Amino acid sequence: MNINSQEVTTFILAGGKGERLHPLTKDRAKPAVPFGGIYRIIDFPLSNAINSGLRKIYVFTQYKSLSLQRHIREGWNIFSRELGEFIDMVPAQKRIGEEWYQGTADSVLQNMNILEDERPMYILILSGDQVYKMDYNRMLRQHIEKKADLTISVFEVERKDAHRFGVLKVEDDRITKFIEKPSEPAPDPGNEDFCLVSMGIYIFTLEALIRNIMDDAKRTDSTHDFGKDIIPSMIGKYNLYAYRFIDENKKETKYWKDIGTIDSYWESNMDLVNLDPLLNLYDRSWPIRTFQEQFPPAKTVFSGENRKASVTDSMISGGCIISGARVNHSVLSTNVRVNSYCEINDCIIFDNVNVGRYSRLKKVIIDKNVQVPRGTEIGYNPEYDRKRFFVSENGVAVVPKNYKW
């Protein structure tokens, strides 16, 4: 089945505060948080859409969106409006009242003019803060074949973790029940240890979307959210189907991360430097696009018997210099300098960071534009670290952007 991409409009909801990712979200929206050295989280849904041939994209923003807007403007200005291709940034505008976006469904309601002007047959709604690789055309084909009003992409998670998501009951792909973040998640009948959860990826037919968000807007008891309000109200009244996620990474283990906490963020980055990462960023058949400044290649410097540069199981971005230091199982963004006699283990270091000589860092995230003083130790004394920095439940210390010692 051939899909006419001009019949599909993509909405990426990128207005989340990301409060549980603080302090990384102190100065930026969650989708703008760096990931994997050179990327931003927003690059993954955008790349998936482009690789799927979908090129009519609106990105809805709200909180602290400057760096996100700059990133998309500089790195994603690749389309021709004359050919009906674009990525448009849509900030919250209070078009229908005095409130900012009150929920995911309300963000679409407040931009109803886009739907009225374009009248697409299908609307693909994505979250701007998830990391995965997916061909949306497969989901669109199922949506059309089933004559669905709404299709939800679903993912299997262990039952003990399912309370953090919207949990579905499915019979022959038809959704018969949906509960947002239940205290006792119902297992998938095919596997009692797992649950089917919503990935927050939806395909609506136009009329079903308009009718339901407008009806929801009239309810005074609604939070105007797709998961909490819209989807449960559609059960039994519309044709709702589940699409079982197929990973374009082509691994038996499917990869999808809703990065909500510092620990999940750190774990997702650390997975990239494992021997066989679940998320393959080097697959040229499904490239992840981003914006990169012009930097020279990464460089290691050996200077004397006791100043050997050693880099193992790590991702080192352009402009980095490792000078007589050891870097292990870490992710370094662009223009990072690690000076002599330093030891860097299990760390994530953002752009423009200079690590002074004799420093020892373990399980540390350092945000942009930080000068780490000579002899600094972080990650070896949790109690002392907590007096200076945020330290996560699993012991990841975060040095905020522009931090001054």
- DSSP conformational letter for 253: S
Same domain, 56 and 187: yes
SS3 call for 350: coil
Q: Tell whether the model's pLDDT for residue 1 goes beyond 70.
A: no
Q: Tell whether the model's pLDDT for residue 363 goes beyond 80.
A: yes
Same domain, 385 and 238: no
Average pLDDT over residues 218-227: 90
- DSSP conformational letter for 227: I
Q: Tell whether the model's pLDDT for residue 272 goes beyond 70.
A: yes
Q: Tell whether the model's pLDDT for residue 278 goes beyond 70.
A: yes
Same domain, 315 and 214: no
Segment 162-186, tens digit of pLDDT: 998 999 999 999 999 999 999 889 8
Same domain, 310 and 204: no
Q: Euclidean distance between the first and final Cα of the chain, in Å?
A: 60
- The residue among 51, 43, 110, 88 whose CA lies nearest residue 289 is 43
In terms of average pLDDT, the best of 158-162, 182-186, 232-236, 274-278 is: 232-236
The span from the CA of 404 to the CA of 353, in Å, is 12
List, as one string, the DSSP characters of 169-181: EEETTEEEEEEES
- The residue among 402, 404, 405, 401 whose CA lies nearest residue 23 is 401
Q: Tell whether the model's pLDDT for residue 99 goes beyond 80.
A: no
Same domain, 27 and 152: yes
CB of 168 closer than 8 Å to CB of 235: no
List of residues 6+ apart from 231 with CB closer than 8 A: 150, 152, 166, 175, 178, 198, 240
Same domain, 157 and 89: yes
- Backbone phi and psi for residue 275, each to the nearest 5 degrees, phi listed first: -60, -45
Category of 142 on φ-ψ map: left (φ > 0), alpha (ψ -120 to 50) or beta: alpha
Angle at 132 between CA 128 and CA 137, to 5 degrees: 90
Percentage of residues in the chain having pLDDT higher than 70: 97
SS3 call for 124: strand
CB of 39 closer than 8 Å to CB of 290: yes
Residue 23, preceding peptide bond in cis (omega within 30° of 0): yes
List, as one string, the DSSP characters of 344-372: EES-EE-SS-EEPTT-EEESEEE-SS-EE
Task: Report the amino acid identity of residue 228.
Answer: K
Same domain, 21 and 128: yes
Category of 267 on φ-ψ map: left (φ > 0), alpha (ψ -120 to 50) or beta: alpha
- Is 285 domain-assigned? no
63's tokens: 């909180």
Segment 21-53, tens digit of pLDDT: 999 999 999 999 999 999 999 999 999 999 999
pLDDT of residue 200: 94
- Is 305 domain-assigned? yes
**CATH code, 393:** 2.160.10.10
Q: Tell whether the model's pLDDT for residue 83 goes beyond 90.
A: no
Q: In terms of residue numbers, what domain contains 323?
A: 299-399
What's the Cα-to-Cα distance from 370 to each of 151, 199, 304, 336, 379, rounded to whole Å? 45, 35, 28, 10, 17
- Is 376 domain-assigned? yes
- Is 367 domain-assigned? yes
Segment 107-123, tens digit of pLDDT: 899 889 899 888 999 99
pLDDT of residue 94: 63
pLDDT of residue 380: 96
**CATH code, 55:** 3.90.550.10
Same domain, 265 and 357: no
What's the Cα-to-Cα distance from 193 to each of 159, 185, 197, 212, rounded to whole Å? 6, 11, 13, 34
Give the total number of structural domains in the chain: 2
pLDDT of residue 298: 96
Average pLDDT over residues 352-356: 98
The span from the CA of 169 to the CA of 46, in Å, is 29
- Is 405 domain-assigned? no
SS3 call for 373: coil
Same domain, 18 and 58: yes
- Quote the mean pLDDT of the chain: 92
pLDDT of residue 327: 97
Residue with tokens 């292990």: 328
Same domain, 180 and 312: no
pLDDT of residue 187: 85
Same domain, 221 and 370: no
261's tokens: 């906490």
Same domain, 213 and 160: yes
241's tokens: 């189907």
- Is 323 domain-assigned? yes
Please give the distance of CA 39 from its chain centroid, rounded to a whole number: 10
pLDDT of residue 5: 78
The span from the CA of 191 to the CA of 355, in Å, is 48
CB of 101 closer than 8 Å to CB of 107: yes
- Backbone phi and psi for residue 370, each to the nearest 5 degrees, phi listed first: -120, 135
128's tokens: 């701007």
- Is 257 domain-assigned? yes
Please give the distance of CA 105 from its chain centroid, rounded to a whole number: 19
- Is 282 domain-assigned? no
